[in-house]
Chain A
Amino acid sequence: MSTLEIKDLNASVLLDEDNSKQILKGVNITINSGEVHAIMGPNGSGKSTLASTIAGHPKFRVDSGSVRLDGEDVLEMSVDERARAGLFLAMQYPVEIPGVTTSNFLRSAKTAVDGEAPSLRTWTKDVKAVADRLKMDPTMIQRNVNEGFSGGEKKRMEIMQLELLKPKMALLDETDSGLDVDALRVVSEGVNRAKEENNLGVMLITHYNRILRYIKPDYVHVFNDGRIVEQGGPELALQLEEEGYDNYVAAAR
C-alpha cells in the first residue's frame, strides 16, 4: 500500500534565465494504491505541468508545497531517484533517442529500477509478452527508442514501460490524445492490467471523457487555472462531457 500526497503545490515554468510564470497555484491531492484519479480540465489549465513537476522536469520550479511518496520527500529527489522510488510518468510527447536501442534502454531501466539486472531468460519472455498484449510490432525492440514510431506506437511504448517497470504510482499525461479507438482500448487494457497486477495508483490526466470509458476512475478532479476546483466520483466526468468546462472557466474569471 502506497500513498502519493501532494500538498499546496505551487510551481512555475522557467521561460528563460530571468523569467518564470506561475502555473500551479496550490494543488492538493492524495492518491492511494489501486485508486484511479482522473484530472480533467481545459487546455492550458496546468494539468501537464502538474505531472511534469511531480516527475521533476528541469523546466519547472517548485515554489512551495510538498510532494511525498509514502512519507518520502519526492521534491528532494533527482529525476532518476523519483523513478526508482516508484513514480512513473507516461509522457504526452515521448522523445526519440537516436543510437539507443529500445531493447538496451528497457533493460537498463529495469536494472536501475530493480537494483539488479533482470534474469535474461525471463526478461526476454516478459518483454515479448507485453509487446504482444499491446499489439506492438516485435521488431520495434531492435529499433532506437521511439525513433520513427508513430504517435500511437509511442504511447504504447510508454505503457509497455509501465507494465515492465512496475511502478507504485503512474502519472498518465494525455495518454489518450492522438489514439484511435483500437489503440485506445489496447493502451487502456495495459493500464488496467498494471493496476490489477501491481496495485498501481493512477493519476490520469485528460481533456476528454473518452478514455474513462476504458479506465474507470474512482475520483474525478476538475482542474482549472492551476488548481483543483471541483471533486467528485465518476458521475462528474459524465456531467463534464455534457456541460463542458465553461462553468469552471467562467467562475475563475
Chain B
Amino acid sequence: MADTSNTTTRPAPGADVTTAEDDVVAGVRTDEARVAIPGMTQEGEKLATEHTAGDDSEVEVTIRRDPKKPAGNSRAERTASYDLADFPELTGREEDFRFTPLKRLNGLHTSDLTGEAPSVTVSGTDLVTVETVGRDDARVGSAGIPEDRLSANAWAHFSQATVVTIPQEVEVDQTISVEIKGTHTDPAAQHVIIDAKPFSKARVVLHHSGTAVVSQNVEFTVGDSANLTVVSLQEWQDAGTAHASAQHAKLGRDARFKHVCVSLGGDTVRVTPSVRYTAPGGEVEMYGLTFVDDGQHLESRLFVDHSQPNCVSRVTYKSALQGRAAHGVWVGDVLIRPEAEGTDTYELNRNLILNDGPRMDSIPNLEIETGLIAGAGHASTTGQLDAEHLYYLMSRGIPEVEARRLVVRGFLFEILQQIEDEGIEARLREVVEAELSNADH
C-alpha cells in the first residue's frame, strides 16, 4: 500500500514572518527574524509542503506566512454563520467543494428546500423525551453552526426540528433508534437535535433509508461527563438520492463522544461531522466505513476543533471501493488551537481499491498552533489487497477467492465492531457481504 504520513506545524501568530518591508541585505535578513539555518525558524523546522503521493492521495499543509492575512484554507478561518447570505453561490472550485459533483446535489445548494423532509421516527426506549419544535426553540443552534452552503441552506429552510433528550444521569441500555425515511426527491431541509444531559449515557442510531434529496443539520450536545455514541447509517436507495449531512457535536467537561459513520447507499452522499470542545477533558472517537460502488459519490469531511486543553481525539475511517466511476472522498481536518495544550490526537484513513475503475481522494490535514501537546499524527493509505497476505492464506490451502474475502471482511468489519450493538452489526455485515458479492470478492 502506498503510505502517506505527514505532520505539519506552523508558527504561532507573531512568530517569524516575512513581509516585503523587512530589512534584507543581499537576500539575508538582518532583523530579529533572521534565520540562521535555512529551513529553520525560531520555532523549529519549517516543513516544506511535502507531497508524498499515494494513489490519488495527498497531504495538505498550511503554513501561515503573515498573521495579518491568514491563509484562506486554514480551518480556523472558515466562514461559520447561520445566515445563508454569508455563503456565496458554489462554483465547485471552493476548497471544500472541489471533489463534490454539484450537479448531482439536485439543487441542495441552490434551491429553496421546501420539499417535505424525510419522516423521523424515534423508538427503542421510553427513558428519553422526543419533541417536535419550531425554528425558534432555544435548543436550535446550541451545538452547531453551518460551515458550508449546504448546511446553511438547510438551516435557512427547515420548518421544524426533532429533539431527542436524554435526561440528566439517565443511562439508556437499549439502542435509541431514529429512523429517517425518505419517499420523494423534492429538495428538502431537515433538522435533528440530540441532547445528552450531564452524566447521561446512550447510544443513538440515525438510520437513513428510502429515497430523498435532503440537506440536514444534526446537532449533538454532549453534556458534562455524558457519554454519547452516535451511529449514522446512510443506507439510501442509490437512484436519485442526494444527501448532505452536517453533524455538529459539542462536548462539555470530561464528556465522551463516539461517532460511527457508515455510508453504503445513495447516489451522492456528503457527511460532514464536526466536533467542538467547550471545556477540558473531552474524549472523541470517530469511525467511518464507506463502501463505494459503481457510479456512487460518497464523501466524508470531518473536523475536530481542539480549542480546549487536555482533550483527546481518535479518528479511523476506512473505505472499500469497486466499479467504474466509484468515487470516495475523505478529508480529515484537525485543528489544535494555541490554547489547546495537552491535546492528544491521531487520525487514520485506509482505503481499499477492489478492482479497476474507482477513484479515492484522501486528505488528512493537521494544523498545530501550540507545541505543548501530548501527541498529534495522521496517516493515510490507499491501495489494493496485499499480495503477501493473500499468499500466506493461500499457502494454508484457502482458495484465492476466499482468501480475498477474509482479508476484505477483516478490513471492513473492524469498524462495524465499534457500533457495539450486535443486531445492527450483524445486519450491516450482511449488507456489506451483499455489496462484496456484486463483484465476487
Contacts and interface: CB of A to CB of B under 8 A. Distances in A.
A105 B409 CA distance: 12
Contacts of B410: 97-101, 144
A236 to B, nearest CB: 30
B69 to A, nearest CB: 45
B212 to A, nearest CB: 33
B397 A84 contact: yes
A147 B391 CA distance: 16
B391 A79 contact: yes
Interface stretch (B166-174, B285-293, B369-377, B399-407): B399-407
A216 interface: no
B413 interface: yes
Given A58-B387, A79-B391, A99 B407 contact: yes
Interface in A80-96: 80, 82-84, 89, 91, 94-95
Interface string A87-125: 001010011011111001100110011000000000000
B402 A108 contact: yes
Contacts of A84: 397
A95 B388 contact: yes
Contacts of A55: 395
A10 interface: no
B389 A97 contact: yes
Interface residues of B, number: 24
A154 to B, nearest CB: 11
B352 to A, nearest CB: 11
A214 B402 CA distance: 37
A80 B400 contact: yes
A58 B386 CA distance: 13
Nearest to B402: A108
A161 B393 CA distance: 12
B93 interface: no
A109 B400 contact: no
Contacts of A57: 391
B392 interface: yes
A64 interface: no
**Closest 7 pairs between A and B when the two form their complex, measured CB to CB:** A99-B410, A83-B397, A109-B396, A112-B397, A100-B410, A113-B397, A79-B394
Interface of A: 55-58, 78-80, 82-84, 89, 91, 94-95, 97-101, 104-105, 108-109, 112-113, 144-145, 161, 165
23 contacts: A57-B391, A78-B400, A79-B394, A80-B396, A80-B399, A80-B400, A80-B403, A82-B395, A91-B395, A97-B406, A97-B407, A99-B409, A99-B410, A100-B393, A100-B409, A105-B393, A105-B396, A105-B406, A108-B402, A109-B393, A112-B397, A145-B392, A165-B396
Interface of B: 386-389, 391-400, 402-403, 406-407, 409-414
Given A91-B392, A95-B392, A165-B397, 16 more contacts: A56-B395, A80-B397, A80-B398, A83-B395, A83-B398, A84-B397, A95-B386, A95-B389, A97-B406, A99-B410, A100-B393, A108-B393, A108-B398, A109-B396, A112-B402, A113-B396
